[in-house]
Amino acid sequence: METLTQKVMNYLHERRENLINGKVNCIPSPFVTFRNEFVGIEQETYYCITANQKAGKSQFASFMFLYIPILYAYTNRDKVRVKIFYAPLEESKEKVIMRFMRYLLYTHSGFRTRVSHHELTSTIEGQPVSEDILATLESEEYRNIMDFFESHVEFVTSKNPTGIYKDIVRYAVNHGQRITQPVTLTDDFGETRTIERIVGYKPNDPDEYVIILTDHVGLLQEESGKDKRETIKKFSEYMMEVRDFYRYIPVIVQQQNVEVQSMDAYKLNRISPNPGTLADCKDIRYDVNVMLGLTNPFAAKLNTFLGYDITKLKDNQRFLEVMLSRDGTQNAMKALYFDGAVSYFRELPKPSAPDFSEYMERVYSTIESLRQVQ
């Protein structure tokens, strides 16, 4: 019988061979200089994204756990497969599709075609969307990507924890095999019976990354007999189960408490999110493997933050922090450029970098050009 040590050693050898043979053990983070702190998306890992209101949580969740895995799988079909269950509790699936279209137009045009929501939907009087934009979206290249997106992203219609959980388990049962073993039970009268107890799970495709993205948990429909806190806690228990048993990847978006956004907090320079100030249910911090926080210094009316000029960057600056990590570095922070119109994030160099001033001047110029157009 295989010992626990042997099992671990087999696992380590297998992961080493994956890299040697050109496979991957995670979907790499797009922030290359931050990979030691945030390696990317790993199987059997539970993520939480938190921030104050209007800090870009939904955009970051979509960017990191929807766009990145979909496009990585699209271009690396020999390495990974993805299946994403997306519960967008505060917007329609049509808006999710259009947001992805805007991101795609921007990144696949070499950052030349930047279209806002109002521009794409011809909302502003006298400004219909360009026919060239629609023609691009209908081209074979874009259509192939959108078809891939729709075939690998399933929008969850259930809004309560049990409903979402059942959808996930149904998929697992149809795409893998539950491992059972016989167990003999004896009742109070000495009668015995044998049942099959589920002791494990074997997926049909070990290289499939199944992501369950819920945005955000504060909008979950309350379970019968439970208040909001209890509902979120129950949902988190379900997510831990699908992580541990099926090796799936739960991702939740959770607000910070409103007190964190008060003027008193800003005066004390407490502008970053905190695991202890999660809204509605603080217990989540004990359940997740990785908690990522976003900070927006512009909302706190700061002129500078950690060596960056917020008077020039304004709302185009975010700071990504690994607030909690069971297996890696905690409290590590990375400066990001952010364009909310197209849900785009890009890492910025450290102020100590030799080319920092030159690089940032190009960033300021880009931001100024965008503002003039707007």
CA 114 to the chain's CA centroid: 23
Residue 285 in contact with residue 324, Cβ under 8 Å?
yes
> In this predicted model, what pLDDT tens digit does every residue of 200-219 receive, in sequence order?
899 999 999 999 999 999 99
- What is 88-99 written as a DSSP string? ETTS-HHHHHHH
Q: Could you tell me where the beta strands, DSSP code E, fall in the chain?
A: 27-28, 40-41, 47-51, 81-88, 153-155, 176-186, 192-203, 208-215, 249-255, 290-295, 304-305, 308-309, 317-325, 332-339, 344-347
Amino acid (1-letter code) at residue 39: V
> In this predicted model, what pLDDT tens digit does every residue of 338-358 receive, in sequence order?
999 999 999 999 999 999 999
> In this predicted model, what pLDDT tens digit does every residue of 67-96 receive, in sequence order?
999 999 999 999 999 999 999 998 999 999
Share of the chain above pLDDT 90, in %: 84
Residue 127 in contact with residue 119, Cβ under 8 Å?
yes
**Residue 288, both tokens:** 């997740």
Using pLDDT thresholds of 50, 70 and 90, give the confidence band for residue 261: low
Using pLDDT thresholds of 50, 70 and 90, give the confidence band for residue 330: confident
Using pLDDT thresholds of 50, 70 and 90, give the confidence band for residue 184: confident
**Per-residue model confidence (pLDDT) at position 269:** 61
**Per-residue model confidence (pLDDT) at position 266:** 55
Longest dimension (CA), the chain: 83
What is the separation, in whole angstroms, between the first and last Cα of the chain? 67
**Looking at residues 317-338, what average pLDDT do you find?**
92
Computed over every residue of the chain, the mean pLDDT equals 92
**Looking at residues 241-247, what average pLDDT do you find?**
96
**Per-residue model confidence (pLDDT) at position 197:** 79
All domains in the chain, ordered by first residue = 40-176+205-373 (3.40.50.300)
Between strands 176-186 and 192-203, the pairing is: antiparallel
Residue 336 in contact with residue 348, Cβ under 8 Å?
yes
- What is 100-159 written as a DSSP string? HHHHHHHHHTTS-----HHHHTT-STT-PPPHHHHHHHTSHHHHHHHHHHHHHEEE----
**Looking at residues 299-318, what average pLDDT do you find?**
94
Residue 23 has pLDDT above 80, yes or no: yes
Distance, CA of 336 to CA of 361 (rounded, Å): 15
Between strands 47-51 and 249-255, the pairing is: parallel
**Looking at residues 300-307, what average pLDDT do you find?**
93
Share of the chain above pLDDT 70, in %: 96
What long-range pairs does 115-123 form, CB within 8 A, spacing at least 24? 115/341, 115/342, 116/341, 116/342, 117/341
Using pLDDT thresholds of 50, 70 and 90, give the confidence band for residue 371: confident
Amino acid (1-letter code) at residue 166: K
**Looking at residues 152-171, what average pLDDT do you find?**
96
